[in-house]
Amino acid sequence: MQQLKSQAASGTRRSPRTPSLNAHGLQLSSCRRPSVSQPAFTSVRPRHTSSSPLRPSPAERATNLRSRIVPQGLPDPAAVGLFFAPGLAALGYAFIRGKGNLKNGLSHLLTEVSQGYFQPDVGGKNIPVAQGDLSDLAGDQPLFKALYQWFLDSGGVFKLVFGPKAFIVVSDPVVVRHILKENVFNYDKGVLAEILEPIMGKGLIPADLDTWRVRRRAVAPAFHRQYYEAMSAMFARCAGRSAEKLEAAVAAGGGSAVVDMEAEFLSLGLDIIGLGVFNYEFGSITSESPVIKAVYGVLKEAEHRSTFYLPYWNLPLADVLVPRQAKFKRDMRVINECLDGLIRLAQETRQEEDAEALQARDYSKLRDPSLLRFLVDMRGEQFSNVQLRDDLMTMLIAGHETTAAVLTWTLFCLAQNPQAEARVLAEVDGVVGDRMPTLDDIKSLPYLRCCLGESLRLYPQPPILIRRALGPDTLPAGLRGDPEGYPIGKGADIFISVWNLHRSPHLWKDPDTFRPERFFEPHHNPEFGDKWAGYRPDSLKGGSALYPNETAADFAFIPFGGGARKCLGDQFALFESTVALATLLRRFNFRLAGSAEEVGMATGATIHTANGLMMRVTRRTPPPSPAAAGAQQQQQGAGKVAAAV
Ligand code: HEM
């Protein structure tokens, strides 16, 4: 199997980065500009007619995506004026200490800070501080890759100090299990909640624990079997639309087209999440609308905000003085009006029932099978319209780019692994044939499911989860840790590095290699003793879980988090990805149009490509479907019988 180790990560470069956050967690934004040139694609690409940033042409889209990746160069001057005087003083200090060289100066500042100046007392005194030159943070690689090196050097629990803040970085499954499951209610989302609150209000992801308890209990029952049946049909319909669009591009290109598949998956993901969550047809695969524009605007702003330490947008008049804040406000108004309208409509047609009765509805006959319909119709639920809107907004943002990223990286990995690709195709041809894939088909596609798991292992969305301790706690030792554990205090900020866990040499064989079959094989590291149970595929067979998950891996694999605050949309996203890939892979061949290095990797709201996933798409001639082959055999058999008679 091909090593992916540095393929995607290399090839893009040069600009400082800061940590950033997305809907689900911390994004270690590289904030860098790719220096590689776009491959010189000469063949026909599908054209978008608009110059809107939302329905971009491929060239526009690459620029837009990059501008989403790179936090838009310099911040707003007004914002700088409002906030950065102390920062500039610190930089001046850094400059002097660094003898005139800013990078050295930063290194001095960060190193001195790491040695204890300005550090708030939140315990963790026996936690090793990452050794080395913290100017690595201003170097060439994404921050989460720098964290990986420190993890290898310093172990599964270490402290990272920069600016006025100290963060405890956790990359050990024993400690992660403790935080996400065993002592879950001692933690909230900390800095993530501060950033997301203006966008998602008290939606499930940033919600405080009291709000979260009530809303989780209300929203979770909406994801039920009948809902997934209806959703699978919708996934197939939307994926069919994407296929038609690709067909047209291939036909226009005389048999092949170079298409940015990442952009296609973003459109597909938006259409699906709109229909699944509030039965709203964005139609973004084929069109554009002010609402789509506003959604992308808000996503972009969320990403931009996450690259700043200081929430300047909360200052009085920020939305008047800072142009991008004014735009953000306008975008929010457009989305809120749309959501309010949908909520109003759902309320006008409300048919109250108990949760069990709602789950037993005949979803095949419902014109609106969405989550919104379920939530509004549920008897006895007390919630305000604002709360409902926050929940919808949260799911819209949580389920869009994340799923598109999974599809993007799975296709990227398959294109470089012909054996894995051949195995997936054989599976899809044998199971789905020319039909639309169904929910039941997913059960018979184990290898495709593992490919999705493997893509999520290598490219977790997000690569870091954030927590803040609400009270004192003692983190367990984990592998080779202090046997006494690590006492921490209230307010301690924690980064759970999903990237480190997923690529840890202590937890996985050949951690950087794309090898989906690993999820069929048990794996254990005896060094953990009985602290970590290892990866046990058998534990999936007995349960209802179809995809590798955190329980089977005992928290070494946490693409959807784990414990009480685990993602609510995990099955939605995985079913969607399976149906979409089965639909597209059956009909088209996808080859990288340039090299893997040219694809590049960058982080923003998710880990995405730096330059788009440019693929040469051609029609695939699949073998006859099993049904067609069966019919053909029957005909031949009948022919033989007739001849014999
Ligand atoms: C591949 C796609 C997705 C990935 C990788 C993903 C990942 C995650 C992760 C890691 C968390 C936990 C965050 C934390 O613990 O801090 C989370 C939470 C959440 N996700 Fe997803 N997600 C995906 C798709 C979706 C979809 C499609 C929806 C909705 C339809 C959704 C809704 C949510 C919600 C509501 C939460 C908050 C759960 C809670 O706190 O109770 N996600 N997601």
Binding site for heme: what residues are annotated?
Answer: 567
Indicate whether 472 pLDDT > 50.
yes
Question: What does the pLDDT read at residue 309?
Answer: 54
Question: What does the pLDDT read at residue 50?
Answer: 31
Residue 198 CB coordination number (10 Å):
20
Q: Report the nearest-CA residue for atom 17 of ligand 1.
A: 567
Question: What does the pLDDT read at residue 99?
Answer: 43
> Could you give the angle at which helices 570-587 and 418-431 cross, rounded to 10 degrees?
90
- Model confidence over 28-44: pLDDT tens digits? 333 232 222 222 222 22
CA distance 11 to 83: 34
Could you tell me if the CB of 274 is within 6 A of ligand 1? no
- Model confidence over 335-365: pLDDT tens digits? 999 999 999 999 999 998 998 999 999 888 8
Indicate whether 6 pLDDT > 90.
no
Question: What does the pLDDT read at residue 306?
Answer: 63
- Model confidence over 49-104: pLDDT tens digits? 233 333 333 333 433 332 332 223 333 333 333 333 334 334 444 444 444 444 44
CA distance 528 to 544: 28
Could you tell me if the CB of 461 is within 6 A of ligand 1? yes
- Model confidence over 505-535: pLDDT tens digits? 999 999 999 999 999 999 999 999 999 999 9
- Identify the DSSP state of 131: P
Mean pLDDT, the chain, rounded, equals 79
- Model confidence over 416-442: pLDDT tens digits? 999 999 999 999 999 998 899 999 999
Report angle CA 113, 118, 122 to the nearest 5 degrees: 105
With bands split at pLDDT 50, 70 and 90, how would you rate the model's confidence at 383? Answer: confident
CA distance 276 to 319: 32
Indicate whether 8 pLDDT > 70.
no
Tell me which of 73-87, 124-138, 475-489, 524-538 is least confident. 73-87
- Model confidence over 610-629: pLDDT tens digits? 899 999 999 998 887 766 66
Question: What does the pLDDT read at residue 217?
Answer: 93
Q: Report the nearest-CA residue for atom 8 of ligand 1.
A: 560
With bands split at pLDDT 50, 70 and 90, how would you rate the model's confidence at 194? Answer: confident
With bands split at pLDDT 50, 70 and 90, how would you rate the model's confidence at 320? Answer: confident
Probe ligand 1: pick from 24, 189, 372, 496, max atoms within 8 Å of CB?
Answer: 24
Could you tell me if the CB of 567 is within 6 A of ligand 1? yes
- Identify the DSSP state of 219: H
Indicate whether 179 pLDDT > 80.
yes
Identify whether the C-beta of residue 262 lies closer than 8 Å to the C-beta of residue 408. Answer: yes
Instruction: Provide the β-strand partners of residue 19.
Output: 28
Indicate whether 209 pLDDT > 90.
yes
Question: What does the pLDDT read at residue 156?
Answer: 97
Question: What does the pLDDT read at residue 293?
Answer: 86
Tell me which of 124-138, 140-154, 598-612 is least confident. 124-138
The pTM of this model reads: 0.82
In the chain, % helix, strand, coil (3-state, to 5) comes to 50, 10, 35
Question: What does the pLDDT read at residue 132?
Answer: 55
Contacts of 232 (CB under 8 A, 6+ apart): 437, 438, 439, 442, 575, 579
- Model confidence over 224-236: pLDDT tens digits? 999 999 999 999 9
For a pLDDT cut of 90, what percent of the chain falls above it?
56
Binding site: what residues are annotated?
Answer: 567
Half-sphere exposure of 165 (CA within 13 A, CB side): 14
Pick the more confident residue, 300 or 330. 330
Could you tell me if the CB of 559 is within 6 A of ligand 1? yes
CA distance 158 to 608: 27
With bands split at pLDDT 50, 70 and 90, how would you rate the model's confidence at 380? Answer: confident
Please give the number of the atom of ligand 1 that sits closest to the Cα of 189.
16
Question: What does the pLDDT read at residue 97?
Answer: 43
Could you tell me if the CB of 222 is within 6 A of ligand 1? no
Q: Tell me which residue of 51, 22, 142, 69 sits closest to 400, measured CA to CA.
A: 22
- Model confidence over 545-579: pLDDT tens digits? 899 999 999 999 999 999 999 999 999 999 999 99
Q: Tell me which residue of 28, 7, 183, 132 sits closest to 497, measured CA to CA.
A: 28
Question: What does the pLDDT read at residue 44?
Answer: 28
* Interface predicted TM-score (ipTM) over 0.95: yes
Indicate whether 112 pLDDT > 60.
no
Could you tell me if the CB of 231 is within 6 A of ligand 1? no
CA 6 to centroid of ligand 1, rounded, Å? 27
Question: What does the pLDDT read at residue 318?
Answer: 81
Q: Report the nearest-CA residue for atom 5 of ligand 1.
A: 461
Question: What does the pLDDT read at residue 289?
Answer: 77
Could you tell me if the CB of 174 is within 6 A of ligand 1? no
